């Protein structure tokens, strides 16, 4: 089993918790200006953010975004002593988010060419459908005889943005519900939520809802709408304030499902018992719980580290943003992958064309809920060479030429959108399902896949060890309840 990626948190910026100055205290003496830093400031759970905002002002900070629904403030300050100065009554915790940006697992895109045909009436008529082995694997064509999805269902794609000019997506985007959440601040201008340096979100969106229009590919649920919720900045990093904003924005805009193909924090696991990370866990957890209570089912990818999420003891490969030396530390059950291991989130592992776990996919009994196609380009050659057509074909945006297209990617980032698309079809066929009922539908209609015997490694010729062991019976650590089944989900 590969060791889990986690490292000791360096003291890159200050954190203070608990008691301190009273809200009525005099303004702190002006300190020499430090770098302009973003902080998450949390009021006690269920309490007003008013006292916390007052403390922020007294500590020479500026509130740039306020989420009173969950008691979270996003603050900017150049006061190097801000964290200690803001602590006190009305403030439960505070953390600078400097150094807490997680790098998006972008994955290589291999582009392909597409022709245009007469407007198709079903998925099989799309020019590139013959290369979409993933769609028949989860019975999408059969599901489409019942529904291709309802335009009343809106899926939030929390990611790097969606190309609004893509011919397979232009008609699919709910522009009035799309926004950038970078910096934790909502910006609804169309340019703000379009991709800049990454086509990851465009690829994800195509798998969910690419149109049946005689161009390119089809999505699992081409009748539904997607909303771009941009949480990945131009450096390819996801900061916790952006994720918090994204969950709240999706909830307030009435989105019923979100897709989350990322993890928060450059350390793959966020440890509640770590004084620096705890405020991040609290803020994200509050945002997810709030969105769930507002009717949103949040779906997340399990990760590409081939890690057993049930048995995590040592992390020796984080952080992933290059800002700190990688160190090894022992971790325990207080450390979780966010958002994949947050309560109420549906977690998805990845399979290849043979319906076996993709060599890279993380797993874990009691963590993975379902599995879906994510691609596996190495299984045919036991890891010796890559067969790109065994990856997932979807919509792309070339960030160099600024042109739209189609191409292959692989990862649990690709499996999550398949489960999201099936959930969107199920909700279209059965309006009114609560998030819990929708999650149950995904699981109860999935096709069980048994654990492989012994130690599993489909790529022994790769230099890196990808050994994995599956635990469980009909519901197990590799596949959860099984492969999502679009046909069964819409019955």
Residues marked active site are found at: 159, 200, 413
Distance CA 61, CA 183 (A): 15
C-alpha–C-alpha distance, residues 116 and 306, integer Å: 39
Q: Report the alpha-carbon distance of residue 337 to residue 364 in Å, rounded.
A: 12
Q: How far apart are CA 438 and CA 61, in angstroms?
A: 42
The answer for residues whose C-beta is within 8 angstroms of residue 113's C-beta and 6 or more apart is 405, 406
Torsion angle in degrees (nearest 10) through CA of 389, 390, 396, 399: -90
Round to whole Å and give the CA distance between 389 and 185: 39
Q: Are 239 and 38 in contact (CB under 8 A)?
A: yes
- Tell how far CA 69 is from the center of its chain: 22
Query: 435 with 295: CB under 8 angstroms?
Result: yes
* CA dist list (Å): 208 to 121, 157, 169, 223, 413: 18, 9, 10, 10, 12
Question: In this structure, what token pair is assigned to residue 207?
Answer: 């798998």
């Amino acid at each position: 089993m590969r060791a889990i990626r986690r490292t000791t948190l360096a003291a890159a910026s200050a954190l203070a918790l608990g008691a301190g100055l009273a809200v009525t205290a005099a303004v702190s003496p002006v300190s020499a200006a430090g770098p302009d830093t973003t902080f998450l400031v949390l009021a006690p759970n269920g309490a007003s953010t008013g006292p916390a905002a007052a403390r922020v002002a007294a500590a020479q900070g500026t509130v740039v975004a306020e989420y009173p629904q969950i008691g979270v403030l996003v603050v900017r300050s150049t006061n190097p002593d801000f964290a200690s100065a803001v602590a006190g009554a009305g403030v439960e915790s505070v953390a600078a988010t400097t150094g807490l940006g997680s790098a998006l697992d972008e994955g290589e895109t291999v582009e392909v060419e597409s022709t245009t045909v007469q407007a198709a009436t079903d998925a099989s008529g799309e020019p590139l459908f013959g290369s979409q082995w993933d769609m028949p694997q989860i019975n999408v064509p059969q599901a489409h005889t019942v529904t291709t999805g309802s335009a009343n269902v809106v899926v939030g794609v929390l990611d790097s943005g969606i190309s609004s000019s893509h011919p397979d997506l232009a008609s699919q985007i709910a522009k009035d519900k799309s926004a950038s959440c970078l910096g934790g601040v909502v910006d609804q201008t169309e340019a703000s939520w379009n991709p800049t340096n990454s086509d990851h979100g465009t690829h994800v969106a195509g798998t969910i809802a690419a149109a049946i229009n005689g161009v390119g590919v089809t999505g699992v649920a081409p009748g539904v709408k997607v909303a771009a919720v941009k949480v990945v900045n131009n450096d390819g990093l996801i900061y916790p304030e952006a994720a918090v904003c994204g969950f709240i924005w999706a909830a307030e805009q009435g989105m019923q499902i979100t897709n989350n193909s990322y993890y928060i924090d450059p350390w793959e696991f966020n440890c509640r018992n770590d004084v620096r990370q705890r405020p991040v866990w609290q803020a994200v957890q509050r945002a997810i719980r709030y969105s769930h209570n507002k009717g949103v089912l949040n779906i997340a990818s399990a990760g590409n580290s081939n890690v057993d999420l049930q048995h995590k003891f040592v992390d020796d490969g984080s952080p992933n943003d290059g800002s700190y030396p990688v160190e090894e530390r022992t971790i325990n059950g207080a450390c979780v992958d966010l958002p994949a291991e947050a309560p109420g989130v549906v977690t998805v592992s990845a399979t290849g064309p043979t319906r076996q776990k993709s060599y890279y996919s993380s797993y874990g009994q009691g963590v993975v809920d379902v599995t879906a196609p994510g691609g596996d380009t190495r299984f045919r050659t036991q890891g010796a060479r890559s067969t790109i057509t065994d990856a997932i074909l979807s919509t792309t945006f070339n960030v160099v030429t600024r042109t739209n297209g189609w191409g292959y990617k692989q990862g649990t980032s690709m499996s999550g959108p398949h489960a999201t698309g099936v959930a969107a079809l199920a909700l279209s066929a059965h309006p009114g399902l609560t998030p819990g009922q929708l999650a149950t539908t995904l699981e109860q209609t999935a096709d069980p896949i048994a654990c492989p015997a012994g130690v599993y490694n489909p790529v022994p010729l790769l230099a890196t060890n990808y050994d994995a062991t599956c635990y469980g019976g009909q519901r197990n650590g590799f596949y959860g309840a099984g492969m999502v089944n679009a046909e069964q989900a819409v019955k």
